[in-house]
A and B are shown apart, each in its own frame.
Chain A
Amino acid sequence: MSNLNDKREIMKLHSKIYIGNLLIKMYYPNVITFLIKNVGPDEAKQRIFRIGQEVGREMLKIWDPKTTDIKKMILKWYKLMWNSTKYVKVKKIKEKDREIYRIIDKKCGVCDPETTIEGLEMPCVSIDGYLDACLEYISARTPLSSYKVQTIRSIAMGDPYCEHEIEIKR
């Protein structure tokens, strides 16, 4: 087995390299279809969420962004993962007992507008997993009381953009 210190260095190097996303976009529907077929749509949704969460946690270990600002963190995350924030907007809505962040993504990294994925309401639920990992990271530094992440619009379902919502209770 290779030396872990070397590996960490290589992972750091790889966290600065970008490859074409075409394969991922074309491959992603296979993962969803496979999971729906084998465990049903509800469990598939949870498992896809976990995939995003695991990736998010591991990347944050390597990346360690040292910020607790949610909006900054989300935009930094998109920049790191897809090398661009050109098509992403984060809206913050403050209410009496909660804060809501709406993440509008006009060019989702996993949804392909030409590929319809049947059987799962919001296929880009893996992005919720990434966002959850970001909140977990922030919460470990500045505790958040309770939060919930969900996808409310998805390009793969025919919406013009993907929209993820983070709700944080005060």
Chain B
Amino acid sequence: MPGVYKLGFFRKLLIGLGKRIYYRKAEKVNVLGVSLMIRAVLRQYQEVLGSLDKAMKIFQSQVAITADEVITNLIYEPLMLGVSMSFALSRAIQDGPFTIHALIWGMIGKAYNKTFEYPLLELNEDGTGKFIIRTKGKSCILCSGVHDVTIEDLGDNDYGDILATLFGTIIREAWKYLESPYELLESKETKCILRGDPCCEITISFKSKY
């Protein structure tokens, strides 16, 4: 069976080191530039399709495809020293927050501490549960560059579903690879500074297969 049963102390130590080396070696781009770029792309999609609603739906479906490709690359292709991301994957649901933290840290580096809270896990006795990823106050890397979207523009859409789709796809594919006993139900933005909430929050809900 792929992955490990549970992440041990030594493996966690290596993952902690690995995420730092990976971030240091990676080609990088400015966070503000990315959030502004997403907004600019959405604006173009909106002009072409006629509404922000349609634009966001198309955008999210494209994010899901890209995330799928990215996670497949990360799991199967060696990242460094012949080791792929599968080294950091465990079947124990309790390791979820650690792995999510390492994954985001690998993308954003030590700025993680300024922008995100440590991920939370809520596990119920019936096998359902959720991971909660929360930004530190208003410091959302996605919404901070947005100043021209009103609650009316958003309608039923959640701007942060772009990130939620990304995280959800990554977890779904990782669990598929691990043959995890859990399956992902939904990955949704549940709080957003664009709606007046004090922070942005993504909730990834899941249930046990058995």
Which of B37, B47, B107 has most chain A Cβ within 10 Å?
B37
Task: Please tell me if B150 contacts chain A, counting CB pairs below 8 Å.
Answer: yes
Contact A19 B31 (CB under 8 A): yes
A80 close to B30 (CB less than 8 A): yes
| Chain B residues with CB under 8 A of A47 | 44, 47-48
The smallest beta-carbon distance between B69 and chain A, in angstroms, is 6
A51/B141 in contact, CB under 8 A: no
Q: Taking CB as reference atom, which chain B residue is nearest A82?
A: B29
Chain B residues near A13 (CB-CB < 8 A)? 114, 139
Cβ-closest chain A residue relative to B65 = A30
Contact at B194–A11, with CB atoms within 8 Å? no
1/0 per residue, CB under 8 A from A, across B59-86: the answer is 0001101110110000000000000000
Assuming the contacts A10-B139, A30-B65, asked whether A20 and B30 have C-beta atoms less than 8 A apart, the reply is: no
Is the beta-carbon distance between B27 and A82 smaller than 8 angstroms? yes
List CB contacts (< 8 Å) of B38-61 with chain A: 39-41, 43-45, 47-49, 58
Please indicate the chain B residues that have their CB under 8 angstroms from the CB of A26 in the complex: 66, 69-70
Complex contact B108–A58 (CB within 8 A): no
Q: How far is the CA of A59 from the CA of B36 in the complex (A)?
A: 8
Interface of B is mostly: helix
- Residues of the B chain whose Cβ atoms lie less than 8 Å from the Cβ of A15: 30-32
A34 with B58: in contact, given A6-B138, A23-B66 (CB under 8 Å)?
Answer: yes
**In chain A, what residue has the closest Cβ to B198?**
A2
CB under 8 Å from chain B, chain A span 1-29: 1-2, 4, 6-7, 10-11, 13-15, 17-27
**Chain A residues within an 8 Å CB radius of B18:** none
**Chain A residues within 8 Å of B30, by CB:** 14-15, 17-18, 59, 80-83
Return the chain B residue nearest A84 by Cβ. B28
A39: interface (CB < 8 Å): yes
- State the A residues within 8 Å of B (CB): 1-2, 4, 6-7, 10-11, 13-15, 17-27, 30-31, 34-35, 38-39, 47, 50-52, 54-55, 58-59, 62, 80-84, 107, 109
* Complex A-B: 28 CB contacts under 8 Å: A7-B147, A14-B30, A14-B31, A17-B31, A17-B115, A18-B30, A19-B108, A19-B141, A20-B23, A20-B106, A20-B107, A21-B29, A22-B26, A23-B66, A23-B166, A26-B66, A26-B69, A27-B66, A31-B44, A34-B62, A38-B49, A51-B41, A54-B36, A59-B32, A59-B33, A80-B30, A81-B29, A82-B29
Binding site for A on B (CB under 8 A): 23, 26-37, 39-41, 43-45, 47-49, 58, 62-63, 65-67, 69-70, 106-109, 111, 114-115, 138-139, 141, 144-145, 147, 150-151, 166, 193-194, 196
